[in-house]
């Protein structure tokens, strides 16, 4: 990482693809700035004013200040030409030439999966964020969970990763050392303390106007081998992350939800449109990513914690006696709910590992 690398990204009018093009021609930022304006125009087809600005090194002093700010705030940066740059991101056609980070960016060279979803998370989303991460940790104990530190699904997946001993990386829509949302600053500290990282493509000169959430999502998708949408309404930022992952030809996965549930409309639609593979467990995620799951990992978290259940789910679970195998009709009679309501609840409980389906359309508690 050099001053020239940062200076190249500060040049107005270039954009990510312009920088990528220059690097493909010259091989290094130093070589770009060693060229004359005329040579840059002739070899790269850049506008003369941009080429002239590069030749004059107009942003080198600003880049030097940026490097000083990094040191003052305990931050670092990595360029696309460095060995520590996230390898999966280099396969994207719009990767940022420089990433700023705090923590250990090298974890992104491990097996990475992004887990994203709605900010207005439901009880089902809370439970399944924990279940999916916990099951993945059980069979792939070096997996790295990537998300965006946002409220809802993102923060629950980060917390679950920490709970189950996995490293996790938060991709931020703001320049470090700031954290968005600031309410998750303590979670960000824990992510770094436990061997993960906070990363951003934005430098301190970036005006914080709220326009960087969607560009941030491409990095969440780009650094990972696959993306799992845990829960999403019909529209939401996580669906853009899925679209980026789909465009990068990565594995896109979605957790199914109840038909008609607003928080699952987006995930169900991804599955319906065949843009995402339906997954119902952490092992499903590992299989879809082609990870070896024969070796069982160690889960340091408590294994006897009860999953979060809604009031109706608790009511249905209490209908089971010890060792009982019941069909939907009996459960409907005991719970006082309709057969349709019972079927919808059973789907969520089965995905969450609370109940188990048996031959003959019978069900039992999974702990039996």
What does the alpha-carbon distance between residue 199 and residue 175 come to, in Å, rounded to a whole number? 9
DSSP 368: -
Dihedral sign for Cα atoms in the order 106, 137, 308, 213: positive
Nearest to 21 by CA among 46, 3, 58: 46
Tokens of residue 216, six digits: 């941030």
How many CA atoms are closer than 13 Å to the CA of 304, on its beta-carbon side? 0
**Which residues, including other chains, have CB under 8 Å from residue 244's CB and lie 6 or more apart?**
217, 218, 220, 221, 222, 227
Long-range residue pairs from 324-327, CB within 8 A, at least 24 positions apart, any chain: 324/364, 325/358, 325/362, 325/363, 325/364, 326/362, 326/363, 326/364, 327/360, 327/361, 327/362, 327/363
How many angstroms separate the Cα of 204 from the Cα of each of 62, 73, 178, 212, 213?
A: 10, 11, 10, 14, 16
Domains and CATH numbers, the chain: 3-72 (1.10.150), 105-288 (3.40.50.450), 311-365 (1.10.10.10)
Tokens at 104, concatenated = 């250990």
Distance CA 96, CA 172 (A): 14
Residue among 224, 219, 255 at smallest CA distance from 237 = 219
The torsion region of residue 196 among left (phi > 0), alpha (psi -120 to 50) and beta comes to beta
For residue 292, the model assigns a pLDDT of 76
pLDDT in tens, the chain (368 residues): 899 999 999 999 999 999 999 999 999 999 999 999 999 999 999 999 999 999 999 999 999 999 999 999 999 999 999 999 999 999 999 999 999 999 999 999 999 999 999 999 999 999 999 999 999 999 999 999 999 999 999 999 999 999 999 999 999 999 999 999 999 999 999 999 999 999 999 999 887 766 788 899 999 999 999 999 999 999 888 999 999 999 999 999 999 998 888 889 999 999 999 999 999 999 999 999 999 765 444 444 444 445 567 788 888 999 988 888 999 888 988 999 888 888 878 877 877 778 888 877 888 888 65
Contact 248, 92 (CB under 8 A): yes
pTM over 0.75: yes
Instruction: Return the number of other C-beta atoms located less than 10 Å from residue 165's C-beta.
Output: 16
Q: What token pair was written down for 60?
A: 């080198």
Six token digits for residue 127: 């439970």
For residue 299, what pLDDT is reported?
40
């Amino acid at each position: 990482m050099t001053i020239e690398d940062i200076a190249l990204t500060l040049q107005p009018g270039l954009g990510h693809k312009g920088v990528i093009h220059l690097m493909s021609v010259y091989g290094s930022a130093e070589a770009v700035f060693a060229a004359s304006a005329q040579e840059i125009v002739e070899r790269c087809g850049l506008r003369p004013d941009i080429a002239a600005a590069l030749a004059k090194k107009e942003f080198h002093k600003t880049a030097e200040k940026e490097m000083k700010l990094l040191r003052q705030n305990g931050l670092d940066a990595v360029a696309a030409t460095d060995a520590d740059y996230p390898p999966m991101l280099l396969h994207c056609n719009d990767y940022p030439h420089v990433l700023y980070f705090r923590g250990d960016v090298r974890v992104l060279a491990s097996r990475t999966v992004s887990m994203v979803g709605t900010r207005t998370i439901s009880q089902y989303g809370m439970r399944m964020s924990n279940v999916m991460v916990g099951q993945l940790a059980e069979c792939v104990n070096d997996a790295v969970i990537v998300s965006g530190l946002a409220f809802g699904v993102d923060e629950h997946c980060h917390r679950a990763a920490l709970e189950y001993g996995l490293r996790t990386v938060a991709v931020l829509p703001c320049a470090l050392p700031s954290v968005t949302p600031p309410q998750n600053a303590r979670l960000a500290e824990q992510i770094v303390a436990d061997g993960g990282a906070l990363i951003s493509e934005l430098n301190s000169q970036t005006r914080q106007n709220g326009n960087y959430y969607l560009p941030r999502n491409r990095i969440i998708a780009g650094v990972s081998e696959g993306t799992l949408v845990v829960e999403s309404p019909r529209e939401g930022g996580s669906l853009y992350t899925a679209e980026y992952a789909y465009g990068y030809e990565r594995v896109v996965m979605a957790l199914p939800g109840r038909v008609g549930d607003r928080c699952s409309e987006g995930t169900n639609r991804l599955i319906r449109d065949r843009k995402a593979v339906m997954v119902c467990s952490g092992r499903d995620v590992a299989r879809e990513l082609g990870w070896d799951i024969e070796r069982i990992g160690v889960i340091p978290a408590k294994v006897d914690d009860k999953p979060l259940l809604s009031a109706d789910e608790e009511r249905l679970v209490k209908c089971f006696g010890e060792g009982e195998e019941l069909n939907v009709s009996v459960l409907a009679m005991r719970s006082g709910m309709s057969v349709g309501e019972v079927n919808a609840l059973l789907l969520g409980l089965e995905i969450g590992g609370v109940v188990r389906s048996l031959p003959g359309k019978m069900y039992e508690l999974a702990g039996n």
